[in-house]
Structure 1
Amino acid sequence: MAEMARRLLLLCWIGDTFEEIERTAHQPPADTAAMIRLAEYMTNAMGVTLPHLREKVKESVTRMLYLLDCVEFTADDIEVNTATALWVDKIKPTFDYSAEVIEQCKQKFEDALTERTEALVSDIEKLKNRVRELDDLGDVNNMAVYVSDMRALRRKLTELEGVTEWINEQEALFKFPISTYPEIHQLQVSTYEIHQLQASIEPFANLFALTLRWQKTLKKWLDGAFLELDGESVEADTEEFSRALQSSGRGREEGRPRINVDDPNPDNLPGPLRICCKTIEQIDAFKTHLPLVLVLCNPGMRDRHWAEMSSIAERDITPDSGTT
Structure 2
Amino acid sequence: MKGQRLLLRSVKIEEALVAEFTDKVMDIFKKNTVGPQKYLNTYKKYIDLMNNKADQEVSAFLKETHAIPGFRKKIESYQRLKDEIASLRITVPLSLFCLDCIALNQELCNRTQKLKNRLVVFEVDENRQLNRELCHQYDDISEKITEEPKTTEELVSLINFLRKSQDVTAFKLKGYVDDAARRLEFLLDYAQFSYEDIKLNSQVFHWPEQLQTIFDASSTKLQTGREKSEDEVKSKVKAFEEKLAGYEKEVEGFKKKEMMNTDEMKNNVELLDRLESDLTQARDELEQINMEEKLLEFEQTAFPQVQAMFQSKDPYDKLWRTAYSFTQKHEKWQHGPFQAMNAEDIDNDVNDMWRLMYKLNKTFSDIVGPRTVADKIRRKIEQFKAHLPLLHVICNPGIRDRHWERMSDIVQADIKPQEETSLMNMVEIGLSDPKVIEKLEEISGAASKEYSLEKAMEKMKLEWKDMVFEFIAYRDTGVSILSSVDDIQVLLDDHIIKAQTMRGSPFIKPFEQEMKEWEEKLVMMQDILDQWLKVQATWLYLEPIFSSEDIIAQMPEEGRKFATVDTYWKDIMAESVKDTHCLAATAQNNMLGRLTEANQLLEEILKGLNNYLEKKRLFFPRFFFLSNDELLEILSETKDPTRVQPHLKKCFEGIARLEFTEEQEIVGMISSDGETVPYVHKIIPAKAKGMVEKWLVEVEEAMLYNVRKVTSDSVKDYSATPRRKWVLSWPGQVVICCSSIYWTSEVSEAMKTPNGMNEYLEKSNKQIDEIVELVRGKLETGRESDTGCSDCYRCPCS
Same fold (TM over 0.5): yes
Change (3 A) 1:306 1:11: same
Query: Paired residue for 1:42?
Result: 162
Aligned position for 1:266: none
Higher deviation after alignment, 294-303 or 33-42 = 294-303
Which residue pairs with 1:111 in the alignment? 231
The amino acid that maps onto 2:199 is E
**Aligned position for 1:187:** 309
Q: Does the CA-based 8 Å contact 2:407-2:415 persist in structure 1? A: no
Q: Which residue of 2 aligns with 1:215?
A: 327
Secondary structure in 2 matching 1:154:
helix
Deviation at 1:307, TM superposition (A): 6.2
Deviations for 1:223-255, whole angstroms, at most 9, x for unmatched residues? Answer: 20144457787666545433332122123xxxx
Amino acid at match of 1:167: I
Q: In the aligned structure 2, how far is the partner of 1:242 from the partner of 1:146?
A: 20
Q: Which residue in 1 is equivalent to 2:371?
A: 273
User: In the alignment, is residue 139 of structure 1 matched against residue 259 of structure 2?
Assistant: yes
* Aligned residue number for residue 254 of structure 1: none
Partner of 2:534: none
The aligned runs of 1:57-96 (5 Å cut-off) are: 57-96=177-216
For 1:289-308, what aligned pairs fall within 5 Å after superposition? 299=399, 302-303=404-405, 305-306=407-408
Letter in 1 for 2:233: L
Please give the per-residue CA displacement for 1:241-275, whole angstroms capped at 9, x wherever unaligned. Answer: 33332122123xxxxxx237xxxxxxxx5321111
Where do 1:231-270 residues align within 5 Å? Answer: 238-251=350-363, 258-259=364-365, 270=368
Flag the structure with larger Rg. 2
CA gap of 1:270–1:3, structure 2 versus 1, over 3 A, is: same
**1:175, CA displacement in angstroms?**
0.7
Give the whole-Å Cα distance in 2 for the aligned partners of 1:232 and 1:13.
75
Shift of 1:11: 2.3
Which runs of no fewer than 5 residues in structure 2 stay unpaired? Answer: 1-119, 423-798
Q: Cα distance 1:296–1:64, how it changes in 2: closer, same or farther (>3 A)?
A: closer
Q: The residue matched to 1:247 in structure 2 has which SS? A: helix
Question: CA distance change for structure 1 residues 305 and 283 in 2, over 3 Å: closer, same or farther?
Answer: same
> Which amino acid is 1:21 matched to?
I
Q: Does 1:8 align with 2:120?
A: no
2:139 is matched with: 19
Summarize deviations over 1:165-216 as a string: whole Å, max 9, x none.
111111111111111110011112xxxxxxxx4xx11111111122222212
Letter in 1 for 2:365: I
Partners of 2:258 and 2:372 within 8 A in 1: yes
1:322 counterpart letter in structure 2: E
**Distance in 2 of aligned mates of 1:234 and 1:61:** 88
Q: Distance in 2 between matches of 1:247 and 1:57?
A: 78
2:278 aligned partner = 156
Q: CA RMSD in A?
A: 3.0
> Aligned in 2, Cα 1:82/1:143: closer, same or farther, shift over 3 Å?
same
Is this contact kept in 2: 1:139–1:275, CA < 8 A?
yes
> Does the CA contact (< 8 Å) of 2:162 and 2:215 recur in 1?
yes
Q: Deviations over 1:269-291 (max 9, x none)?
A: 53211111111232344456667
Q: Residue in 2 aligned with 1:263?
A: none
State the Cα deviation string for residues 6-30 of structure 1 (Å, max 9, x = none). Answer: 5334422332222121121222223
Is 1:201 matched up with 2:307? no
Secondary structure of the structure 2 residue equivalent to 1:91: helix
How far the C-alpha of 1:103 sits from its partner, in A, is 2.5
When normalised by structure 1's length, the TM-score is 0.78
Q: Give the 3-state SS of the residue equivalent to 1:250 in structure 2.
A: helix
Letter in 2 for 1:321: E
- Using the alignment, how far apart are the partners of 2:303 and 2:168 within structure 1? 42
Bigger CA drift: 12-21 or 122-131? 12-21
Counterpart AA for 1:277: D
> Do 2:404 and 2:415's aligned partners in 1 also have CA atoms closer than 8 Å?
no
Q: Give the equivalent residue in structure 1 for 2:724.
A: none
Q: 1:172 aligns with which of 294, 312, 322?
A: 294
> What's 1:191 paired with?
none
Q: Is the 8 A contact 1:7 1:60 kept in 2?
A: yes
Query: By how many angstroms is 1:97 displaced?
Result: 3.1
1:150 aligned counterpart, secondary structure: helix
Deviation at 1:56, TM superposition (A): 3.5
Residue identity opposite 2:328 in structure 1: K
Note the C-alpha offset of 1:74. Answer: 3.1
1:83-118: CA deviation from partner (whole Å, max 9, x where unpaired): 222222322332133223322432343333223222
| Residues in 2 aligned to 1:290 and 1:170: alpha-carbon distance in whole angstroms | 57
**Structure 1 letter corresponding to 2:299:** P
Contact 1:307 1:318 in 2 (8 A): no
TM-score (norm. length: structure 2): 0.34
Name the CA distance, whole Å, in 2 between partners of 1:9 and 1:238.
Answer: 80
- Cα shift at 1:297: 6.4
Shift of 1:41: 1.9
After TM superposition, the structure 1 stretch with the greater mean CA deviation from structure 2, 64-73 or 242-251, is 64-73
Aligned equivalents of 1:99, 1:308: Cα separation in 2: 96
Distance 2:369 2:356 in 1: 18
Kept in 1: contact 2:255–2:369 (CA 8 A)? yes
Amino acid at match of 2:170: L
Report the counterpart of residue 592 of structure 2 in structure 1: none
Aligned residues: 296
Deviates more, 1:105-114 or 1:149-158: 105-114
Aligned to 1:264: none
Alpha-carbon spacing, 1:61–1:150, altered in 2? closer, same or farther (3 Å): same
Q: Find the aligned partners of 1:104 and 1:84 in 2 and give their Cα distance.
A: 31
Partner of 2:720: none
Q: Give distance in 1, aligned partners of 2:225 and 2:376.
A: 59
